[in-house]
Chains A and B, each alone.
Chain A
Amino acid sequence: MSIIERPADIARHGALGTSPPRPDGIEKVQGTFEFSSDISADGCLWGATLRSPHPHARIVAIDPAGAWQIDGVHAVITADDVPGQMNYGLISQDQPVFASDVVRYVGEPVAAVAADHPETCRRALAALAVEYEVLDPLLDAEAAIAGDHPPIHPDGNVIRHQRIIHGDPDVTGAVVVEGTYEIGMQDQAFLGLEAALAIPDPGAKGVELHIATQWLHEDRTQIAACLGLPEDAVRLVLGGVGGAFGAREDISLQVHTCLLALRLGRPVRMAYNRAESFIGHVHRHPATIWMRHHATSDGEIVKIESKTVLDGGAYASTSSAVLVNAITLAQGPYRCPNAVVDGWAVRTNHLPCGAMRGFGAVQACFAYESQMDKLAAACGIDPVDIRVLNAMRTGDTLITGQPVLNVAPVEECIRETAALPLPDEPVGGAPMPDGSADVMKLPGGAGRTADAGDIVRGIGWGVSIKNLMYSEAFDDYSTARCRFTDGVVTLKFATAEVGQGFVTLAPQIARTVLGVDDVRLDRIDTQIGSSGSTSASRQTWMSGGAVNAACLAVRSKIFDHVAEENGFDPAALTIDGTDIVDSVSGWRGDVAEACAGATFDETAEYHHAPTTELDENGQGSPHTAFAFVAHRAVVDVDPELGLVKVVQIATAQDVGRALNPLSVIGQIEGGIAQGLGLAVMEEIIQIDGVIRNGNFTDYLLPTFLDMPPVVATLIEQPDPYAPLGAKGVGEPPCISSTPAVVAAIRDALQQAGIDRPLDRVPVRPGDICL
């Protein structure tokens, strides 16, 4: 990774704009970090979940007798043991804690057990007898729309239908291109598996849950409702999180663990293995997107038409919000005056789908960027030029009518990416010292499938838009508390640290605002107001905004204190490094010393500007803010075997302001790896509603040999709407990297005289060579 150096206006180390080490970095590298799966308690029992083997079936009877006969089994619970609300869900509460009458996907929880050992749990699950009457599964999203199948849920088979009509729906363009694109089901594949420890209060009046999650307070709301307890009787503590990417937004084992602990009056821990994780959390929505672009003969977009169908699987989760992203961002980062867009999120008996990094924007981007290349070809324009020609600017509007008020450096992203150097390595990689080809650099890698002469190289582009924060009138505020005492700052927030680095950033904010080096973090739990979810690229903006506001409130108190002690005007005081400076007298003193003995304690909430819902024609201002990025992929392709090796990804990303440049680079590299995975290998395969590759042997993630060097430029134009000028950076890297890789494969094939649509991701070898 190389990063184009910016002029260093470096403040002191550890302040904003620097890259101090992560507070948990050494522990993570040394393997001593306590992930949620490592947490235990004295007298702890293990819990495990019995899951449906059928995609759709009626539960006729559950006989737990066999499980009770096994020594060491302490509890067997089913839907009958749920004391509160039977269902949970992020947007609509349609998903049962345990299926009681009907199971709707393979892997749906039916019962849970607690026992003295995981192996005892396994035997108990095997001894639980469930009689099913198998029902006809609904496995075709189009059939759900057409109404060809009886409802598989009381809420019906359509989760949401939304259209967008904008401008003149009847206008046409001189040039028309269209295609139908498919996106496969991607898994978040975090490495730290789902795990929790529930410790009941005496008398089962409440419970403390240690949990790896993305949003403690939302979990608490859903858990308390299902437990039939007041929210303040349910306390959540963030367990060490090993990645999230959206898969920890929904409830998985939270309610089950608490139910078992409360039933037994003993601590209970649950932990999924990899196979259970694959069926135990939501995934990226598989999508089918038809899209038609109208343009002038010069390539200027006149209108888009599209129909998006998302397969939401058995339960709603966040499908309706994913759909809104997928359709409201269908124009991409391009001006588009007219649109006729239709979108469906439907229910099937597939695995439930919900949040994953990119959240609907990923699916839309593969379609519109594939279309942009078609449009460029149809107009005889270079792929870069057509994107620059149509590039959105600040003040342009979305097809919902919403103006894009944020900094929108789309053209800069494209031009800066184009200016990055192409790889020096020749096609097929640099030869070994003895002159032979380095097979590891060729498509096929360690399999030694190719020789250098078999390979062609292509270049492809992807540019994208992503909404930041939550949409459609949702107030996803964040809360932070700043306590200053004896020159030490302690920050408290409920912001889930899932690896993104807010635990590094928050102290940087405090150091900068307050001029104090010693900043400590309180435990991340529900003993403070909500921070909202660690998702939607929102925590730097929202929780950063809250920490900043709390620190500013404390600073105001500090200025009042120092002004009163010294007879200064508080309005004339500033922080310079670790000093307070009176701009009138020139007096200067160390912050800690100037406030010796004083304590200031302030809590602040940060709210973003309100947004609106969409009307029936999809018009409104649903989104909070936007970020942009461009990707250029260089890919070596073996056309005869259909194997690929991505050689380089170049990117320029609109980051607003890089508060911690190393963290930004980490997000860029990681997101690109995830986007590359979707482009060429990552897909959950379900056949007849049964997952066939729920393991890391067959669900393939990119290895070091698959992930290329990344060259990146950060486009730093501080956003006036962002509290620290910084935009969220987590999602954009994975959005347009996918179509860039696929476009590069198409380009390579064209050079070999082969024309393949490659209108489906992940691209499979047979899609290239057969």
Chain B
Amino acid sequence: MLAEHGEATLLAGGTDAMVEINDGHRRPAGPVLAVNRIPDLRSWRHDPASGTVTIGACVTYTELMDPSVAALIPALAEASRTVGSPQIRNAGTLGGNLGTCSPAGDGLPVLAALDATVTLASVRGTRSLPVLDFMVGVKRTAIEPGELITEVTLPVVDGWQGYAKVGVRNAMVIAIASACVVLDRAARTVRVALGSVGPTILRCPEAEADLSERIDWASMAVAAPDLARFATLVSAASRPITDHRSSAEYRRHAVGVLARRLAQRALTVDPAGATR
């Protein structure tokens, strides 16, 4: 059907599409194809051999908060909890988050920090690409006409991971800055992805490399000045704008604080420690 109707609107949870339609910002030009009852898109699986979790595009945020998923990818469960209200979390899906590709999408920094792979299907076959290549810009993706997001594959990482977001309300709020930090003990690397501080999700290569070197991986400790430097580098990696939700200045500041606090949760901080 999708092949026949390249102009079709795909509908999963509808938490983005219906808002745009109701506000008159989007008028579906062709058919609306509801994909949220396709069983293959509704499930997830853990593959211990490859050390990955593969999540169907129509798995909801509520399902991602389940302890069975949370035990494997805790940051994704934390991010899912920050999405909207229970009603929205029951309807909204990870595939929809990717399809909309808002820089404020809560699931996306987690996928970016974990170097997830997105799988797309069409009558021409399937293809997979890194999530950072999938997200092209503000609400722009690498999806081609006739393609459907089917699943996302993420590695199960040995090490702490977490997500935090700032909004001007204590729940049910769009991120004005968000961050996901992942510590990969096997690879001895830190990975950081930022939301709402650029046209799309940003990684912070310089901050990642710097902190990776400065952590004492044996004791999982870090010196306070190194963490402060990490925050500065993360802020520097952000490319925020000023809009009605926040100033660029605040976003830049907040995202550094968030990244530092997430790292603090993962590590033992030596306040007087010499920098490595």
Contacts and interface: CB of A to CB of B under 8 A. Distances in A.
Do A and B interact with each other, yes or no? Answer: yes
Interface of A: 122, 273, 275, 440, 443-451, 454, 640-643, 645, 680-681, 685, 687, 692-693, 695, 697-698, 700, 702-706, 764-766, 769-770
Given A449-B165, A641-B254, A444 B170 contact: yes
Interface in B139-154: none
Contacts of B170: 440, 443-447, 643, 645, 703, 705-706
Contacts, number: 101
17 contacts: A273-B22, A445-B170, A446-B81, A446-B171, A447-B170, A448-B82, A449-B165, A450-B261, A451-B265, A643-B166, A681-B168, A702-B169, A703-B169, A765-B246, A769-B250, A769-B253, A770-B249
Interface in B155-171: 162-171
A447 B244 contact: no
Interface in B79-127: 81-82
Contacts of A702: 169
Interface pairs A-B: 9 shortest CB-CB: A445-B170, A692-B244, A766-B250, A705-B170, A447-B165, A705-B171, A685-B244, A446-B171, A448-B164
Interface string B236-276: 00000001111101100110011001001100000000000
Interface of A is mostly: loop
B63 interface: no
B261 A706 contact: no
A448 B166 contact: no
A698 B245 contact: yes
A534 to B, nearest CB: 29
Contacts of A450: 261
B23, B164, B168, B174: most-surrounded residue (chain A CB, <10 A): B168
A770 B250 contact: yes
A448 B250 contact: no
Contacts of B246: 764-766
A640 B177 CA distance: 14
A554 to B, nearest CB: 50
Interface string B41-80: 0000000000000000000000000000000000000100
B261 A700 contact: no
B166 A703 contact: no
Contacts of A765: 166, 168, 246, 250, 254
A697 B15 CA distance: 12
A700 to B, nearest CB: 5
B122 to A, nearest CB: 32
Contacts of A770: 249-250, 253
Nearest to B24: A122
Interface residues of B, number: 36
Nearest to A704: B171
A446 B168 contact: no
A275 B166 CA distance: 25
A703 B171 contact: yes
B261 A451 contact: yes
Contact of A766 (B163, B249, B258): B249
A186 B118 CA distance: 43
Contacts of B178: 447
A642 B246 CA distance: 12
Given A273-B22, A641-B166, A705-B171, A447 B254 contact: no
A769 B23 CA distance: 35
A664 B167 CA distance: 32
A706 B246 CA distance: 19
B160 to A, nearest CB: 13
A662 B171 CA distance: 28
A692 B175 CA distance: 17
B250 A447 contact: no
A703 B253 CA distance: 26
B173 interface: yes
Nearest to B244: A692
Contact of A445 (B171, B245, B258, B264): B171
A705 B173 CA distance: 12
B166 A447 contact: yes
Contacts of A706: 169-171
B172 A703 contact: yes
Q: Which one of A640, A702, A765, A769 has the highest number of Cβ atoms from chain B below 10 Å of its Cβ? A: A765
Nearest to A685: B244
A447 B257 contact: no
Contacts of A764: 168, 246, 250
B232 to A, nearest CB: 14
A693 B166 contact: no
B205 to A, nearest CB: 24
A388 B24 CA distance: 55
Contacts of B243: 692
